[in-house]
Structure 1
């Protein structure tokens, strides 16, 4: 028993030695992201996260004040990932008029399916986001990608309010679609090709 305990302590010491402070913070965020996907945002403890990360139970508190702060960091990282992915697919799809709009809707849904726990967490934390400047700024950066592509489709001189209205309509559709998908409530059971056709249809209707 004593030998087993010593081995566990040695393993933890070795794992801690692999991370300097900056790496440990990122490692903890990734560990908690995985736990969120496995158990939900409320289904684990900091001590479990530390154990998974191979560090002492005190180590997370060197970088985060409490559990809420590390979960918030996971959500912020998720928003950044989604923005980067949306930006990438939109730029790559600029060969046709509505290509970027269709790509944005498809990527949004794919992100939700790939990271449903983080997706739910991101939007769960945005309640009252006007009081959190960082979350608001990150969320606005995602919306800016959509507005940018909508502006390129609309006639020159289209008022900002109309750009924002069209972008909001697109978000309403794909956001609802994404949640129906991850909640298993989409009775259509769409193939990738059918989902693409759906995104084309909604883009044509909203951007007409």
Structure 2
């Protein structure tokens, strides 16, 4: 591919697109900034006008991913209303849908080893997506007496961890991805068991 130089189109967006493909192929730590430059059709020197290193490029992708993720979670939460339970379950399904549709963003967000506090922009973006699930947890647990109610942040963190585990083990093309049940069913069943344990939904007959 011929080098098109620094004035090639929207270089920043082109580098993000190139890095997303590399992340999907090699993981967030499996490529170099020079590879991203080559795939974007520019010289490595041009990249440094926009990003100081690979981590900064990954942070850009993670910020973008958290924004997409939060929009999707908010849409799922609002679409599930007026039932707090339906809204909560919808956010769980949205988690799986995001991981499938945006694998490069997902890996940059959760598998790069970069702290969500690395930059103010990343901290703000990640907090927004987390707050959607916390709001769903808070709505669902309102009828539990306050002294027995789990903190919304803990409640949502448990569901987040469960969702992440289902994605990693059964919803991705990894060695452990074969499962006897669809990932959505695994997650819905797991959430059901958790919510019954909290007394949020009635036990099965």
How would you bin the TM-score normalised by the shorter chain? 0.7 to 0.9
User: Within 2, Cα distance between the matches of 1:8 and 1:126?
Assistant: 33
User: Within 1, Cα distance between the matches of 2:60 and 2:118?
Assistant: 16
Partner of 1:173: 162
Partner of 2:45: 58
The structure 2 residue matched to 1:194, chosen from 185, 200, 203, is: 185
Partner of 2:137: 150
User: Within 2, Cα distance between the matches of 1:56 and 1:69?
Assistant: 18
**Partner deviation per Cα, 1:22-45 (whole Å, 9 max, x = no partner):** x32122112211111122223322
Distance 1:64 1:52, change over 3 A: same
Distance 1:103 1:184, change over 3 A: farther
Q: CA deviation at 1:132?
A: 4.5
User: Within 2, Cα distance between the matches of 1:194 and 1:58?
Assistant: 48
Q: For structure 2, which runs of at least 5 residues remain unmatched after alignment?
A: none
Q: CA deviation at 1:185?
A: 2.2
The structure 2 residue matched to 1:40, chosen from 24, 27, 42, is: 27
Q: How does 1:114-125 map to 2 (within 5 A)?
A: 114-125=101-112
Question: What is the TM-score of this pair, normalised by structure 2?
Answer: 0.77
User: Within 1, Cα distance between the matches of 2:194 and 2:31?
Assistant: 40
Partner of 1:96: 83
**Paired residue total:** 195
User: Does 1:8 pair with 2:5?
Assistant: no
User: Does structure 2 conserve the Cα–Cα contact (< 8 Å) formed by 1:105 and 1:199?
Assistant: no
User: Does structure 2 conserve the Cα–Cα contact (< 8 Å) formed by 1:35 and 1:49?
Assistant: yes
Q: Secondary structure at the match of 2:48?
A: helix
Q: For structure 1, which runs of at least 5 residues remain unmatched after alignment?
A: 1-6
Judging by fraction of residues, say which structure has more helix. 1
The structure 1 residue matched to 2:64, chosen from 77, 85, 97, is: 77
RMSD: 3.0
Partner of 2:153: 164
Question: What is the TM-score of this pair, normalised by structure 1?
Answer: 0.76
Q: CA deviation at 1:63?
A: 0.8
